[in-house]
Structure 1
Amino acid sequence: MTYPTPHTPEELDDMIVQEKLQVALEFQHDAWAESTADGIEPEIIADAAMITAIRETVRVLGEDQAEALLESLRERILAGEFSPERVLQ
């Protein structure tokens, strides 16, 4: 027996992506905490994380799409999206 869902398939897909993102962020947070506990400076951890992310993005999407992603990240940084002082409403 199936039950109707109040969400469209697209909404469900978005919810799944957001849940996966949250889990991935938690994994990243744990790795960051473990690295700092081992005495690795935050700047080095950040550099390693970005290198890994960019390499994987280039591998999966190609250089042009990776460049477009980096440009969108630049715009989001300049807009303050990642600032610790940012207040979500």
Structure 2
Amino acid sequence: MEHGFNDLDALVREEKRLTAVENHSEAWAEGLSAGIEPEIIAEAALTTAIEELLRASGEPAALALIERMRERVVAGEFAPEQSRH
């Protein structure tokens, strides 16, 4: 039964991730339509995310996320040809 619970948890987490991606994509498009440069939108999104993570989970969690994201950037995971969504 533990395996089934983990599978369900993974499915719920992925659905939440996809919903978040969709919401952020819509906000990104709205920002571009308003004439806001991509760099400004990106900085605002990252700033908000880090502030909220700090508030919810503390500095160690925020720093761990930043490091994981850095590793993913260095690995080329976000290159346009690698897009997952």
- Provide the TM-score with structure 1 as the length reference: 0.85
2:6 aligns to what? 10
When the two chains are superposed, the root-mean-square deviation of aligned CA atoms in Å is 1.5
Displacement of 1:85 in angstroms is: 2.0
Q: Distance in 2 between matches of 1:72 and 1:63?
A: 14
Higher RCO (CA 8 Å, separation ≥ 6 residues): 2
Instruction: Point out 4+ residue stretches in structure 1 off by more than 6 angstroms.
Output: none
Residue among 40, 45, 58 paired with 1:62: 58
1:4 aligns to what? none
The 5 Å alignment of 1:30-41 reads: 30-41=26-37
Q: Which amino acid aligns with 1:9?
A: F
2:70 aligns to what? 74
Q: Could you say which structure has the higher helix fraction?
A: 2
Q: Distance in 1 between matches of 2:62 and 2:15?
A: 23
1:3 aligns to what? none
Residue among 40, 43, 46 paired with 1:44: 40
What stretches of structure 1 of length at least 5 have no aligned partner? 1-6
Q: Distance in 2 between matches of 1:35 and 1:24?
A: 16
What stretches of structure 2 of length at least 5 have no aligned partner? none
Displacement of 1:86 in angstroms is: 2.2
Q: Radius of gyration: which is bigger?
A: 1
